[in-house]
Amino acid sequence: MADSNPDDTLREQVLALAGLCQAVSLVDSIARTGTAEPEPFEACLQSLFSFSAQTTADAYGGVVKLELGLRRLNDLLSGERSQSDRELVRYLIGATQLQRQLEKQPDVAAIVRSRLEHSAKGAQVNSRNISELSPSIAAIYKDTISHFKFRIKVNGSAQQLQNEHNADRIRALLMAAIRAGYLWRQQGGRRLHFLFKKQAILRTARDILQREIPH
């Protein structure tokens, strides 16, 4: 069997990081303003039900669906970080930590997958009504991930965070962030890559934005 192309592997890692950035960026937006761009939001939820996706892009419905995440990844790796950027980094680190905890508890991971599959039954997860699955995804998160010792503290407007609809969407997006963390790890992504592969990740993200995202 031929070895995988290192460039292809890096591309897959970058797209997974984009999925992670997209999810936590939307978490931050909902927490502060109560709003989230519909298409990036739906793509994040779509990834939770893409059980047999062959590539990272397939899990989200195409590279173009990760434009928001690619742009946020570019922002985070370029220049000085704003206070908002530092919040996103905290969410990114938190999501990867939750992913590792879930990976170490295969019984819990099996429950999460089983319940996601159950939620998908009868639902047209490829259509725009996927956002209606937020409450069921949030319930899975509350029953499993929220019981871990480590938790992500989401900061934002008290008014927005106390809104049940927003809370459901935030939990669903955190689940999607964990899913992206799995995709990142499956492609060989490790935390040290943020130190030693930062420039390569940045170049690849910019190349994808330039070559594969319509202008």
| Interval 160-204: pLDDT, tens | 999 999 999 999 999 999 999 999 999 998 877 777 899 999 999
How much is the pLDDT for 120? 83
Question: What pLDDT was estimated at residue 124?
Answer: 56
Question: What's residue 2's pLDDT?
Answer: 43
pLDDT in the model for residue 122? 59
Q: In angstroms, rounded to a whole number, what is the distance separating the alpha carbons of residues 5 and 8? A: 5
CA 11, distance to chain mean position in Å, is 16
Which carries the bigger pLDDT value, residue 179 or residue 128?
A: 179
Q: What is the mean pLDDT of residues 123-128?
A: 54
Would you state the pLDDT for residue 82?
Answer: 77
